[in-house]
Structures are given as structure tokens and as C-alpha cells.
Chain A
Amino acid sequence: MGHMTYEQSKSVAFKLIIVLAIITVIEVLIALVGKGYIGGIHAPVWAMAIAMIALSLYKAYKIVYEFMHLGHEVPGMLKSVLLPVLLLVWAIIAFFWEGNDWNVRRTQIDNFNKKEIGSNAPNTFDIKQWEEEPFV
């Protein structure tokens, strides 16, 4: 750690590990309290998810910038490592979109298979009268 003395960098590392441990405890408490294991409260899932994702991203930022020392490298090197990671933003959006579509299709097919054919259905093999369901 070029810009810090040995003693300083030692205390920075120690403080950081304490902070990371506390954040981990907070994350687990959010999961346990929010799901009703402690205190019997049920928090909305999306609120817990946002809080836990935010805390994990903060942990990741601290590990990469301080422990892995990337925050103290030359800006060009920092960018050459971090900018490619932005590609993942699109990957996450695209694959979650796709996953959601699989879910919609699966439910659609399931509902169709469960549909019972009424007694007034035409008594032929040509009974495929399926309605076009909106695709969302």
C-alpha cells in the first residue's frame, strides 16, 4: 500500500474485516427477521431482496477496492477490469426476461392441459379449438 504506512494499512484492513462481518450479520438478520423466524414479522420479499443485494454489492466493492487494492491502481487498469463487467447488466436483463417468459409459457400449457372438454364438445377428433392467449 504505497500511499499508507505499514501501521495505517494494518488498521485499515482490520477495520474493513469488522465492517464486512457486521454487514454479513445484518444480511442474515434481514433474511431471518423478514421471513418470520425472529419476532414473527413478514417483510415484503422485494424490500428484503433490494436491501440484501445492495449490502452484497457494497461488500463486493470493499473487497475489490481495498483487499484487492484495485482502488489504488492506475485509473486505466481499473477501467480495463471494471468496464467489461458492465456487459453483465445486459446478460442479467436478457436472461431474467427469458426465464420469466418460460414461466408464462409453462403456465399457459399447464392450464391448457388441465382444461376439461365439456359434454357439448363436438364428438370428432377435430376439437382443437384453442383460443389465442395474450402473450405477456
Chain B
Amino acid sequence: MATDTTEHVKVDSGTWDGGNQPFKASYGKLMMWYFLLSDAFTFAGFLIAYGALRISMPSWPVPDFVFSILPFELEKLIPGGVAPLIFVTFMTFVLLFSSYTMVRAVQEGHQENRKGVVYWMILTIIGGAAFLGCQAWEWNTLIGKEHMTISTNPFGTHTEAGVYLEGDGHGINEGDTFKPGDSYLIHQHGGEFHRLKYKVTEGAGADSEKVHQMEFGPKAFGALFYFITGFHGFHVFSGVVFLIIIMVNSFTGLYAERKNGYEMVEKIGLYWHFVDLVWVFVFLVFYLL
């Protein structure tokens, strides 16, 4: 509180002179809340745009097909060879854990325990950095291995039942059949997308002569994925930077001198929980639904 620490400036006590605190919270904390509110609207705008575009397409990449591999090819140890959603679940746990360590840092701050604050903040920083590392791996796989860009989406969905006329060397063999709703990934061979040829065997399009080719998935998917997870990842990154700054300041005893229960730690805590909160919805919209 301003009145606790300033000796030279006399603060008027009248309601209109700043002497009244209707919300019983400091200016900095309140403004952090309103910043987070505005940030929530930005994220909501992104996620609602995702929903509107997804509903406007006849088909959409299935998340448990797109996100089904693990680092170091660990998914091959699982029967079936795929690990749908396992890696993103792990990422969710990392962020959740760092949210808990952040709460502990704030609580130690209320106890004016300098060592406790620094200890729990370091754990939070490690959690945030681990999350960023996971996201870097996920992006690297999508860009380098699966060749998804903001305007090309190789993840498609079959709308008819049919049979492949050729194999791609990535699990699809000549003569394999598929059903409507089955997902596929168009692989690259020598820098070119290799769109497999197939024939439709059932339904209105059943025509033994006509040869079809795999179509690319909805274009918007790549742009939405990179912009939304990128925007969230950027929040995590700036959060880690601020956590490091505030951790160093706590370590040097700057906040101990202020004797306000480490309010700065509380404010970065609000921001950090908000990042976790946004991830709850990114996780829901992008990976679960």
C-alpha cells in the first residue's frame, strides 16, 4: 500500500483523492486483472474463429490422428503404433504442475519467506521452459516431418469408402481399403507431396473406372494451429522471462524491503495462472474436441 511506505507524500483520505479502495486491491493487481480480461478476449477471438471456420468445412483434421506421435519414436512401443493425445496430455501436466509451484511461491511470499519464494519460482521457471521445449518439438515435427505450413495442410479426411491403388511406404499399401471419416496424411517424397491414387468402392460415387487422388485438408487448419498455439507459446515465453526477472529481484531482497507480502510475485502469479487457464481451452478446442 502506498500509505505504508511513503513518508514524504501525504495521501489525501477523501474518496475522490484516492483515499478509498473500493476493491481493496492495489492499483497494480487491479490493472493486471483488467489486462488479463482483455487478453482473454483476444484468445476468445482466436478460438471462436477456429470454431467458426471448423464448422464451415465439410470435414476437418481429426486431432487424435494429427497429434499421435511421441518424441524418440516412443509411440512404436505402444500396441498399434500410435499414441493419440498422449504428448499434449503430458504438456498439460507440465503446465498444471508449474501452476501449483507458482501458488506455492505466492504463499511463501505472504509469509515473507525469501528462500521459499525463490525456490518455488525456480521450479515454475523450469516448468515453463519444459512446456516451451515440448511445444518446440511439436512444431518441429509438424513443420519438418509432416510439412504442414500456414497455407498447406496435408492432413485430410476421406468422405467416401474406397481402395488405394498405390502405397506410400508409410503404412499404406496397395489394395488397402478405407471408410468415410478415415484420416490420412499426405507424405512428401523428394520435396513433392505424393497424393495417393484411389478408387471409390461404395456409395453414389462408386465408379470402377474413375481414379481419384487424395485431396489436401482444409487450408485454415495450419494457420489456426500455428497462430493460436504460437500466441499461447509466446505468452508462456514472456511469462518465463518475467518470472526470471522477478525471481532475481526476490533473491536480491528487493521485494523483502517493500514489506507488502511479495505483491510482485502475486501479480506474475496471476499472469501465469492465466496462461494455464488459456491452455485449458486451447487443449479443449484443439486437441479434445
Contacts and interface: CB of A to CB of B under 8 A. Distances in A.
- Do A and B share a complex? yes
9 contacts: A17-B103, A27-B288, A31-B85, A37-B64, A76-B22, A81-B33, A99-B56, A102-B52, A103-B55
Interface string B57-71: 110000010000000
A77 B25 contact: yes
A102 B55 CA distance: 8
A67 B273 contact: yes
Contacts, number: 136
Interface of A: 1, 6, 9-10, 13-14, 17, 20-21, 24-25, 27-28, 30-32, 35, 37, 49, 52-53, 56, 59-60, 63-64, 67-68, 70, 73-74, 76-77, 80-81, 84-85, 87-88, 91-92, 95-96, 98-103, 106-107
A85 B24 CA distance: 22
A20 B282 CA distance: 16
Contact of A32 (B33, B34, B84): B84
B30 interface: yes
A43 B241 CA distance: 43
Given A13-B104, A31-B85, A37-B64, A52 B288 contact: yes
A74 B24 contact: yes
Contacts of B93: 21, 24
Contacts of A100: 55-56
Interface of B: 22-25, 30, 33-34, 37, 40-41, 44-45, 48-49, 51-58, 64, 84-85, 89, 92-93, 96-97, 99-100, 102-104, 107, 110-111, 269-270, 273-274, 276-277, 280-281, 283-284, 287-289
A13 B85 contact: no
B221 to A, nearest CB: 14
A68 B22 contact: no
Contacts of B33: 70, 77, 81
Given A1-B110, A106-B58, A28 B85 contact: yes
A103 B37 contact: no
| Of B52, B84, B89, B96, most A-chain CB atoms within 10 Å | B52
A106 B56 contact: yes
Contact of A13 (B24, B45, B48, B100): B100
A95 B45 CA distance: 10
A73 B110 contact: no
B264 to A, nearest CB: 15
Query: Closest 9 interchain pairs by CB?
Result: A99-B52, A102-B56, A99-B55, A77-B23, A17-B100, A95-B52, A99-B56, A56-B284, A13-B103
Contact of B280 (A25, A59, A77, A101): A59
Contact of A96 (B37, B52, B96): B52
A49 B99 contact: no
Given A31-B64, A31-B85, A20 B22 contact: no
Given A32-B84, A81-B34, 7 more contacts: A6-B111, A24-B89, A74-B24, A87-B41, A96-B52, A99-B55, A103-B55
B67 to A, nearest CB: 11
Nearest to B32: A68
Contact of A56 (B44, B56, B110, B280): B280
Contacts of A21: 93, 96
A68 B287 CA distance: 25
A30 B270 CA distance: 30
A81 B96 CA distance: 23
Contacts of B34: 81
A123 B266 CA distance: 77
Contacts of B41: 84, 87-88
B288 A28 contact: yes
